[in-house]
Amino acid sequence: MFKQVNGAKWYALGFFPPVLAYLLFRIYYFSDVLPNTYYAKSAFVSKVILLKSAVLYLGKWSIEWVPVALLIFLILMNSDQSRAVLPIIISIPVIATVFLGGGDHMKGIRLMLPALILTGYGSAMAMKSRFRRPSVLIVILAVIVVSLQLFSATVHWSLPLFPMTFGLKPRSFAAAHGEIVGRFLENNLPPGTLVAVNSAGAPPYFGRSLSFIDMLGLNDRAIARRRINRITTWYQRKPGHFKGDGRYVLSRRPDVIMIGLTYGFLTGTKDNLFLSDYEIVNDPSFKENYRPFKIEVPITDRQRNWYEVRQYLKEGRYFIIVWLRKASEKTNKLRNLGTQLGIEKAVD
């Protein structure tokens, strides 16, 4: 064990110069050591909210990590545990970040993988140091674990339905709709138009000449640093979706606001809105300064066949709902392309 510690010390020292250089760059360029995503996902959020969120996350994906953890535990119980102490100690901060950060919204156990890999390595070294024929239980559990992981990697993450059809590999929901909406906005809004969205990945990527407000705060310093002490809307229950600030978004006077998911909502309640959305639709100035429009967006045959898009089409047609600021001339083309909806039905 002491040899391991000594070797790890020199190995860690090798990381010190590049890590220090990167931290100095962050302080100079961003005026902060920590990334904005840290503030958006977990900083200034009630610890009770984060703990509940992490427990739900671990419970949701227990089928993936519990069998692995059980296999590692059984191996260690029948091996020289001292060989695994250092990898386990190193993995503790990784586990702590899961609880401190409230878990993860994405599929799977990506946040747990470093800890599982480290402890798995430790258990392998422990078993190697006292090699004996593994028990039948360990062999059976190992086969189950490997089978589950192969299933997740090759089938579960690639196909949307069960029973499954091999060869069907859908895009993610946000990527599919984000590409359609982003390209449409890029082609129909002048450069520099300010658009407020919750899906701040694909739409800004495909709408590169436009400016965007990320209403979840991942790319917005002001929203990311808002303090959250209670859950107001259903979408806030998803890890990483705690933040929002409707008043701040409206103060930026965006030309276009996309309420809700990527393609936009007309009505909204606590059950289907993000925090920024809910605060926006309940702000009197929103109804005074914005009007909703329903617009049909042309899509290609390739996009029409995407699994996530097919589920959304209405009689083969793709629609979005956008809220356009009345005083903005930049949105005139969208007004001409769309149909204005009744404001009395806009806020629920």
Residues 300 and 196 in one domain: yes
Could you say which residues of the chain have pLDDT below 50?
Answer: 161-167, 346-348
Residues 241 and 304 in one domain: yes
Which of these, 285, 253, 249, 272, lies nearest to 321 by C-alpha position? 272
Residues 108 and 226 in one domain: no
Residues 251 and 200 in one domain: yes
**Whether 168 contacts 159, CB under 8 Å:** yes
* Rounded distance between C-alpha atoms, residue 76 and residue 79, angstroms: 5
Residues 75 and 121 in one domain: yes
Residues 200 and 305 in one domain: yes
- Which DSSP string do the residues of 146-186 spell out, in sequence order? HHHHHHIIIIITT-SSSS--TT--PPPHHHHHHHHHHHHHH
Residues 223 and 265 in one domain: yes
**Containing domain of residue 50, as a range?**
43-156
42 is written with which tokens?
């977990």
pLDDT of residue 171: 65
pLDDT of residue 318: 96
Tally the domains of the chain.
3
pLDDT of residue 165: 42
pLDDT of residue 206: 96
pLDDT of residue 163: 43
Residues 227 and 261 in one domain: yes
* Rounded distance between C-alpha atoms, residue 292 and residue 281, angstroms: 12
Residue 100 domain flag: yes
Peptide bond into 163 cis (omega under 30): yes
135 is written with which tokens?
């028990």
Residue 166 domain flag: no
